[in-house]
Structure 1
Amino acid sequence: MNVDLEKLYQLLPAIYRVKDSELVDNHQDLPPLKALFSILSEELDMIEENLDQLYDDQFIETCSEWAIPYIGDLIGFQPLAPIHDPKFTSRSEVANTIGYRRRKGTLSILEQLARDVTNWDANVVEYFRLLATTQYLNHLRPNNISVPNLKNWEQLEYVNSPFDTIPRTADLRNINSKRGKYNIPNIGIFLWRIQAFSRTDASAFQVDGARYTFHPLGIDTALYNFPETETSVTELAAPNHTPVAFKRRLLKEHLNAHYGRGKDIFIRIGSNRDIHKNEICIGNLSNWDDATLSPPANRVVIDPELGRIMFGADFITALSSNHVNVWYNYGSLEKMGGGEYDRASGFSDFEIIYTVSKDVGLGNFLNIQDAINEAQAQPNNAIIEVLDNHSYEENLQIQLQTGQTIELRSADGMCAVLKFLTDFTIEGEALSEVIINGFIMDGNNMVIQNNTNLERLSITHCTYLPKASSNKIILGSPIQLKINNAIVAGINTFENASIHIENSIVDVLNKEEKAISALEGQRAILQVKNTTILGEVDVKSISLVENCIFISLVTVQLLQTGCIRYSYLPFNSITPRKYHCYPKTSEEIKTVVPDFMSTIYGNPAYFQLNVWCKNEFLKGADDASEIGVYHNLFQPQKESNLQIRIQEYLRFGMEAGVFYAS
């Protein structure tokens, strides 16, 4: 407490304090008057805290969130449409408004505004500078030549990208329609929705003796540049300031800037054999199954577009007895599916923590099952925390006691890999719970044993590699299954099991396969929000579905209860009442169809809606955001807010268009 009870109590005349002390009995901690003053001191604490906050609310740096619009109103700041995103705040924009207005009309301020409003990386292009025009002899532009120089390979690598510098003839279409660009008044604002996320000191996947992939499950995935920060407020974004996927030729020519310790890419064999830059070469490994293909003996070939590695013959001996660890960046639209991003806010705070690491001396255990055995042997709730990004190939089993909860998680800033050698079985007594947080998983099924009394299984911020035949979550009892910010394969249900899925992807690779299916005719109760599901869904009942995309047929047994709202599902689905769902009529079956950039796991645009999709998808949610797994990106609101804001800062006569670079 800020208000000291003793000091407050000493303000009383001594005679009252003496009388008060005489009234103490064995059942009281404090004498009556002092007990009253302890209550008063707590109230004074709250008043003092409120006064401090009222003072802080006068300054944009320290004010409460509710006070930001009022401070902005004092300087004529135009508020934007609200975004229900906990990460979004206009505090920095209000704080910098005066400085921004002094730079009004410059490209750098437009770029800064785009970042502030959308929280995405941005780049601004003046298209009048790229028009192929007749040269004016008093003001020659030697770099503005209509015919590109075919010897300038780097300029050609950026064709049709935000960094394209090849002049074009005039395009008179309106830039707001996102069709016309090259015209005198036009300015293009490019946004990168796909962000770069790091994986550090992680286990590479071994395909065979000399071939590896950066992705720990052997998936082809592009390597990304992690954006650098501009050195001054007037500097415009260049490729190294944005999260772009590496191209082979560009990485080869700029290898010094991107390969090495503390940089975008690094490879190590064992604990101390670093692969140095002079041992690296960049190549195309798309045909690496060809037996005649082999790199130079003393070289390591990296294909950044596929995320593949091939070692020369000189490294085979070292590889036979050591693991390979890699440092790289991958692209993703959202903090979902396991990663090194911050997840600490969702962690349990149990006192008992067992740590696991393959690095000797770092954790209490070298493998996960030993930690599970230790945790489940005692009746208290416990955490099993993996402290590294390595791959763990184990037979996992969990058996919980009554009322016991175990959280199996990767440490904050880590994302370990679990490879189940056999089915991962889970069972427990009444009121027990298992929480799995922050892993990439593969191998076999996750099975809730028959007749178990386990109450709940929670899977959050995990990837359970999408497959058609295995990697299923099999419910053998009527438990509660909660999936949040995760990517999972199919789910086999049990009678009256409760399944709650939010901000996730359920993918069985084929829309004819069962994504959520009845196990021996036993169906579950489903609740889904902000989710995309590829595969058929067969459940007993639906409590609520909102802002979702069901690519395949949905069949619900009980139609009297529940509601599906603001979602897409096939027209012939058998469901309870629908509200603002698509397609609305049989005529819309062929016209209102979701169009995804990719449905292949490992692609950065995995289940991202195409920008040319109909508004039923891009603005079809209950809050006018897009439906599906990326609802919480709030893309329509961010683009609308940006259009509002840039009009205030554009030079007179200029027009701006917003484009998505990724």
Structure 2
Amino acid sequence: MTGPAGAADARDRLFELLPLAARTCDEAAGHPLRDLLRVIAEQAQVVQEDIARTYDNWFVETAEDWAVACLAELIGWSPPPPGPGPGPAPGGTAGRDLAVRALRPPRQDVAATLGHRRRKGTRSLLEDLAPDVAGLPGRAVEFAHLLARSQHVNHLRPDRGRTADVRGGDPQALPGGLPGSPPHTVDVRRPTSHRTAGRYGIASVGLFVPGTRAYSVTATEACRVERVGRWAFTFDATGFDVQLYGPGADGGAGLPGGLPGAITRRGLGGPGGRTASPLHYGEGRSLVIRAPGWPAPGQGDPVLPEQVVPADLGDWQAWSPRPGTVAVDPVLGRMLFPRTAPPQQVRVSYHYGFGADLGGGEYRRPLPELLRAGPPSPAAGRRTAAPRPSPAGPARWYRSATGADELRAALAALEQERPPYAVVEITAGTVVELTAGISLRPDQHLLLRAAERVRPVLCPAGPQAPLSVTLAPGSWLTLDGLLVAGPVHLAGDGGAGGDGRRAARVVVRHCTLVPGRTPRSGGAPGQPAPPALELAALPGADVGISHCIVGPVQVTGPPGGEPLRLTVADSVLDATAPAREAVGAGGQGPAPAVLDIARTTVLGTVRVHAVDHGENTVFTGPVTAARVSRGSLRHCWVPAGSRTPRRLHCGPGTEQAPSGPGAWTAPAARLVSVRYPDPGYARLAPDCPEEIRAGADDGAELGAFHDLYLTRRLDALRARMSEYVPAGVDAALFQVD
């Protein structure tokens, strides 16, 4: 008898019901009757479990996926119209969890259908539809309440019908008709018009959903702008101008409508507009500033709200704060202290806007494989590589660091002890000035990562790169959750490689290798961008980039050597200019690399040895492959003049006119912004062609934000809105940033 005792008892439950004499005779005969009853008992167990599942399938909360579709049909739930595009393709990304889930009836929407029908025609219902259908917070506005009109003296409505107040207004107002917007005259255009949409109609209702999320940065060091003076700082640790955001109701900032949104200069001010409002400033709010010992010993931790003055710091020299105050520009993310006795160090906590969980940030990210089960897998998304055996847990060598000194000590111990599986973790969101060189021995694994909910910043301490790693044959390097404000140099040691077993492997995941120069890296924004990732002399290596923002990638190697494999997925590759190389060899012909790319936005040109596979990707610059007889591109947007392998369902490049100041005008697509770290960085513009906005093989948008499935979610929400508004009412969906 094999298996657990409980399993054996369950199989023999029918046999145990027989008389003892029958069981004794069966034992003497070699248990033929017992074996027969075991088979019958197993089938009876299957029937009993099916009966139990049938009871669970009566309820939408516990029903199986196929039963949810039956329940939806039973209550008359109608699916939204299918999203544009050819739909899931066999063998492509149709097996991805998000795509499969998008094709099934949403359980939450089906469960809430009857309740929604009882509340049809109410404004609160539209706000509940946004999270139920699209998974987004929403704010519904009846535009008739915002129309300026004359009051009847016998029926006064002080809350509506006012004219615009040119002297005041609500400083916390969000754009697009949300609370605090000034009154408007009537607009006869429908908000659902396929031409020019209007808003302020008598029978118009708008549902506002955020197009940008608010991400937190906690207790990081502000960047001192030395070219201005020791009294000037930026919130961004690398020195970029960054728009500050309020996280909305969930983040405790209390923005009108409960949506995340950009903080304006007027919005930062309190009722009088002269000092920071507690709505935005303070612990647990949108931003807080810490300047220990300023303006007097024992003060400044944190700086008090009455000491924070909203200001326009577009010109650093145009503002001079009063003693004991600090001028803050939330639009540019700048701070200006009095020139007399500025603070020695400033630490800030704030929120910035972005579209998805990409790059280094304090969002929750999955653990790398070295921490879950052993050494990391090869490049993210590669289908042909086989995993290596997992080491035992105690074999891992671990060191943690909170600053530059501890990190240098950990890397020095790594060089001295040379453990086979090493983990170096940065546990504080500090700015680490570092210039480190690491050498990995053959078959050694190193994971350099940021701890969960932490965003450390690595900056060069001198003219050299902040991180330089020499890889031996068979060695593995994983960078996880880091923001690096300088080039990362990875080079081979000249050993054997390229046989598939001894080649070095590199994984870069959830990292930001800052595109372009920064004050921290010894330059100023706008200067020509150096390579953010340098791959030198790594023949046959496997390099994977996943969920990252990466500047120019430069690949060099000996002539005639085997090209490395570069796999990029769910990322942004930014050359910082249309004519520069996002992936190349620094102008020395095609890069010795075989590219495998998926769900990526490439800002710049690509020149590689070959493209083995590409899907759901936006290329804004020409793509040149030296070998076009291998590989393919499917569901990509490729500019005219590219030299690629065969294309399947790929859009042609067309010249398009600019859509506004700051928008990217490229032969392939329109983007909201191409400047890192703008809130709309690398996002498709609302007027982007439909072939790009919904051109993926599963109807989602092309590029780095594919996995948000935002196009399909918004289309489903529009369809649901039309079902629950009264007759004669025009309901439209608006995105606010």
TM category, shorter = 0.7 to 0.9
Instruction: Spell out, residue by residue over 1:100-158, the C-alpha distance to the aligned partner (whole angstroms, 9 max, x if none).
Output: 22222111111110222222222211122233445455543344446312223327955
CA distance in 1, matches of 2:563, 2:243: 42
Q: What does residue 576 of structure 2 align with?
A: 509
The 8 Å contact of residues 4 and 41 in structure 1, kept in 2 or not, is answered as: no
| Pairs within 5 Å for 1:244-643 | 244-253=261-270, 255-269=277-291, 274-278=301-305, 280-287=307-314, 289-290=316-317, 293-312=319-338, 316=342, 319-320=343-344, 323-348=345-370, 349=372, 350=374, 351=393, 352=396, 354-358=398-402, 366-367=406-407, 370-371=410-411, 373-374=413-414, 377-421=417-461, 422-423=464-465, 424-452=467-495, 453=497, 454-467=503-516, 468-478=529-539, 479-493=541-555, 494=557, 495-518=562-585, 520-521=588-589, 522-583=591-652, 593-643=668-718
Q: Name the CA shift for 1:76/1:382 in 2 (closer, same or farther; >3 Å).
A: farther
Q: Name the CA shift for 1:157/1:587 in 2 (closer, same or farther; >3 Å).
A: closer
The 8 Å contact of residues 212 and 310 in structure 1, kept in 2 or not, is answered as: yes
Q: Name the CA shift for 1:16/1:458 in 2 (closer, same or farther; >3 Å).
A: farther
Question: How much has 1:499 moved relative to structure 2?
Answer: 0.9
Q: What does residue 378 of structure 2 align with?
A: none
CA distance in 1, matches of 2:251, 2:577: 44
The 8 Å contact of residues 489 and 515 in structure 1, kept in 2 or not, is answered as: yes
Question: How much has 1:620 moved relative to structure 2?
Answer: 2.2
Q: What one-letter code is carried by the residue in structure 1 that aligns with 2:551?
A: A
User: Pick from 171, 175, 200: which aligns with 2:218?
Assistant: 200
The 8 Å contact of residues 339 and 413 in structure 1, kept in 2 or not, is answered as: yes
Are 2:126 and 1:114 equivalent residues in the alignment? no
CA distance in 1, matches of 2:512, 2:163: 48
Q: What one-letter code is carried by the residue in structure 2 that aligns with 1:514?
A: E
Question: How much has 1:293 moved relative to structure 2?
Answer: 4.2
Q: Name the CA shift for 1:437/1:258 in 2 (closer, same or farther; >3 Å).
A: same
CA distance in 1, matches of 2:124, 2:346: 43
Q: What does residue 86 of structure 2 align with?
A: none
The 8 Å contact of residues 369 and 397 in structure 1, kept in 2 or not, is answered as: no
CA distance in 1, matches of 2:49, 2:416: 44
SS at match of 2:313: coil
Question: How much has 1:410 moved relative to structure 2?
Answer: 1.0
Q: What does residue 733 of structure 2 align with?
A: 658
Question: How much has 1:56 moved relative to structure 2?
Answer: 4.7
**Mean Cα deviation higher: 472-481 or 407-416:** 472-481
Percent identity of equivalent pairs: 28
Instruction: Spell out, residue by residue over 1:226-272, the C-alpha distance to the aligned partner (whole angstroms, 9 max, x if none).
Output: 121599xxxxx962611011111121116112222222212224699
Q: What does residue 215 of structure 1 align with?
A: 236
**Mean Cα deviation higher: 62-71 or 79-88:** 79-88
**Mean Cα deviation higher: 411-420 or 604-613:** 411-420
The 8 Å contact of residues 565 and 578 in structure 1, kept in 2 or not, is answered as: yes
SS at match of 1:68: helix
Question: How much has 1:534 moved relative to structure 2?
Answer: 1.8
Question: How much has 1:464 moved relative to structure 2?
Answer: 0.4
Question: How much has 1:476 moved relative to structure 2?
Answer: 2.1
CA distance in 1, matches of 2:141, 2:412: 55
Q: Name the CA shift for 1:38/1:438 in 2 (closer, same or farther; >3 Å).
A: farther
Question: How much has 1:172 moved relative to structure 2?
Answer: 2.2
Runs of 5+ consecutive residues of structure 1 not aligned to the other structure: 19-36, 232-236
Q: Name the CA shift for 1:283/1:353 in 2 (closer, same or farther; >3 Å).
A: farther
Runs of 5+ consecutive residues of structure 2 not aligned to the other structure: 25-36, 84-96, 271-275, 375-392, 498-502, 517-528, 659-664
CA distance in 1, matches of 2:106, 2:715: 15
Question: How much has 1:619 moved relative to structure 2?
Answer: 2.0
Instruction: Spell out, residue by residue over 1:23-79, the C-alpha distance to the aligned partner (whole angstroms, 9 max, x if none).
Output: xxxxxxxxxxxxxx9999999999998887665554433444554333333433333
Q: What does residue 258 of structure 2 align with?
A: 241
Question: How much has 1:281 moved relative to structure 2?
Answer: 1.7
SS at match of 1:500: strand
Question: How much has 1:591 moved relative to structure 2?
Answer: 10
CA distance in 1, matches of 2:326, 2:457: 25
**Mean Cα deviation higher: 589-598 or 390-399:** 589-598
SS at match of 1:557: strand
Q: What does residue 75 of structure 2 align with?
A: 75
Q: What one-letter code is carried by the residue in structure 2 that aligns with 1:119?
A: G
Q: Name the CA shift for 1:135/1:551 in 2 (closer, same or farther; >3 Å).
A: same
Question: How much has 1:359 moved relative to structure 2?
Answer: 7.1
User: Pick from 163, 168, 180: which aligns with 2:179?
Assistant: 163
Q: What does residue 60 of structure 1 align with?
A: 60
Instruction: Spell out, residue by residue over 1:607-655, the C-alpha distance to the aligned partner (whole angstroms, 9 max, x if none).
Output: 2221112212212222232222222222321222112211221112211
| Pairs within 5 Å for 1:182-193 | 182-193=200-211
Q: Name the CA shift for 1:588/1:276 in 2 (closer, same or farther; >3 Å).
A: closer
TM-score (norm: length of structure 2): 0.77
Question: How much has 1:302 moved relative to structure 2?
Answer: 1.9
Q: Name the CA shift for 1:402/1:46 in 2 (closer, same or farther; >3 Å).
A: farther
CA distance in 1, matches of 2:47, 2:542: 44
TM-score (norm: length of structure 1): 0.85
Aligned-pair Cα RMSD in Å: 4.0
The 8 Å contact of residues 143 and 199 in structure 2, kept in 1 or not, is answered as: yes
Q: What one-letter code is carried by the residue in structure 2 that aligns with 1:613?
A: C
Q: Name the CA shift for 1:114/1:370 in 2 (closer, same or farther; >3 Å).
A: same
CA distance in 1, matches of 2:219, 2:260: 20
Q: What does residue 166 of structure 2 align with?
A: 150
Q: What does residue 234 of structure 1 align with?
A: none
**Mean Cα deviation higher: 120-129 or 152-161:** 152-161
Instruction: Spell out, residue by residue over 1:440-466, the C-alpha distance to the aligned partner (whole angstroms, 9 max, x if none).
Output: 111234222352555211111111010
Q: Tell me the number of residue pairs that the alignment of Structure 1 and Structure 2 aligns.
A: 637
SS at match of 1:366: helix
Instruction: Spell out, residue by residue over 1:462-494, the C-alpha distance to the aligned partner (whole angstroms, 9 max, x if none).
Output: 110102124233232121111111111111224
The 8 Å contact of residues 638 and 668 in structure 2, kept in 1 or not, is answered as: no
